[in-house]
C-alpha cells in the first residue's frame, strides 16, 4: 500500500503510471500498480495505491467514507462543476449572508439523494456519461442516495465559501457545491478540492511524488 498526496493538474492514472515506473525500475521488472479511487485532475490529496498482489484489494477501499475540503465560488457556474469546464458569471442581486449560507449548507447533512453529474464516469446505456456530454448529448442522469455525516463552513467571504465534509462513498462534492449554490439562488462551482481522508487513512501520512523519488 502506498499513500500519495496527489498534486493539482494531474490525473490519478498519471500518478499511478509514475509510481509504477519508479517501483518497476527499483524491482528490475514490471510491477502492477493500481489505485483505490480516482481524484479529478484539478483535485489534490490522498490517493491510495496498491502494488503487486495487493492490487486485488483495490475494490475493498472503494466503499470507505471520505473527508474533503472544498472551495466553492458562488455567483459563477461551470459546465463541469469544476475549473475544467466553461465558466459563466451569474448575476447575483444580493450576496447571501453567513446565516443564509449556514442554513443552506445545513440542509445537506444526513442522507440525501444526489443527481450524478453528467461529466462523470457513470455508464448510461453502456457509455460513459462524460463521453456523451462531450458530444453535446443531453441525457437524464440517475440519482443515488448518499450520506453526509458532517459538513461545516471553514470560511465565507462572498463569493468564496470553504467547507469540510465527511461523506459516504459515491458522493460527488462537485455536485454538492453546485447544489448549495442552487439553494442560495446564486449558482456555484468548485474551484478547489482536497481529499483529506479515506476511511482511517490520512493525507498527513502520504508522500508527495517528489518524496517518493518521482522526477518528471
Q: Is position 212 within any domain?
A: no
Q: What is the distance between the alpha carbons of residues 177 and 51, in angstroms, rounded to a whole number?
A: 34
Q: Are residues 10 and 82 in the same domain?
A: no
Domain count, the chain: 2
213 is a domain residue: no
Q: What is the pLDDT of residues 67-83, one digit of tens each?
A: 999 999 999 999 889 99
Is 155 an active-site residue?
no
- Tell me the C-alpha distance between 150 and 41, whole Å: 25
110 vs 106: CA distance, rounded Å: 9
Is omega for the bond preceding 159 within 30 degrees of 0, making it cis?
A: yes
CATH code where residue 160 lies: 3.30.2350.10
Three-class SS state of 206 = coil
Place of cell 444526513: 110
- The reply to whether 38 and 97 lie within a common domain is no
Based on the fold, state whether residues 103 and 143 are members of the same structural domain: yes
Catalytic residue among 40, 155, 179, 211: 40
**Cell for 190?**
468548485
Question: Is the same domain home to 105 and 57?
Answer: no
| Rounded (10°) angle between helices 173-184 and 98-106 | 130
Residue 168 lies in a domain: yes
Residues in contact with 196: Cβ distance below 8 Å, sequence separation at least 6, in sequence order: 45, 46, 67, 68, 69, 164, 202, 203
Task: Tell me, yes or no, whether 215 lies in a domain.
Answer: no
Q: What is the mean pLDDT of residues 148-169?
A: 98
pLDDT digits over 102-114, tens only?
A: 999 999 999 999 9
DSSP string, 25-73: HHHTS---EEESS---TT-EEEEEEEEGGGGGGGGGGTTS-EEEEEEEE
What residues make up the domain containing 18? 2-62+201-205
Chain segment 14-30, per-residue pLDDT in tens: 999 999 999 999 999 99
**Which of 28-32, 53-57, 120-124, 150-154 has the lowest average pLDDT?**
120-124
Strand 160-167, strand 66-74: pairing: antiparallel
Which has more confidence, 201 or 135? Answer: 201
Cell numbers representing residue 74 in the block: 458562488
Whether 210 is in a domain gets the answer no
pTM of the model: 0.90
178: part of which helix (H) or strand (E)? helix 173-184
Amino acid at each position: 500500500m502506498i499513500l500519495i498526496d496527489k498534486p493539482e493538474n494531474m490525473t490519478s492514472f498519471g500518478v499511478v503510471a509514475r509510481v509504477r515506473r519508479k517501483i518497476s525500475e527499483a524491482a528490475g521488472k514490471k510491477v502492477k500498480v493500481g489505485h483505490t479511487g480516482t481524484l479529478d485532475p484539478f483535485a489534490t490529496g490522498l490517493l491510495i495505491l496498491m502494488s503487486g498482489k495487493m492490487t486485488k484489494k483495490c475494490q475493498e477501499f472503494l466503499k470507505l467514507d471520505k473527508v474533503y475540503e472544498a472551495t466553492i465560488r458562488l455567483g459563477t457556474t461551470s459546465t463541469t462543476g469544476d475549473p475544467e469546464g466553461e465558466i459563466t458569471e451569474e448575476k447575483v442581486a444580493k450576496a447571501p449572508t453567513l446565516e443564509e449560507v449556514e442554513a443552506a449548507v445545513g440542509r445537506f447533512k444526513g442522507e440525501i439523494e444526489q443527481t450524478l453529474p453528467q461529466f462523470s464516469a457513470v455508464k448510461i446505456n453502456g457509455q460513459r456519461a462524460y463521453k456523451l456530454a462531450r458530444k453535446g448529448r443531453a441525457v437524464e442522469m440517475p440519482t443515488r442516495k448518499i450520506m453526509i455525516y458532517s459538513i461545516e463552513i471553514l470560511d465565507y467571504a462572498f463569493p468564496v465559501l470553504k467547507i469540510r465534509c465527511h461523506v459516504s462513498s459515491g458522493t460527488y462534492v462537485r455536485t454538492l457545491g453546485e447544489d448549495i449554490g442552487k439553494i442560495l439562488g446564486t449558482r456555484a462551482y468548485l474551484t478547489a478540492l482536497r481529499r483529506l481522508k479515506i476511511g482511517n487513512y490520512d493525507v498527513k501520512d502520504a508522500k508527495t511524488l517528489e518524496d517518493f523519488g518521482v522526477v518528471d
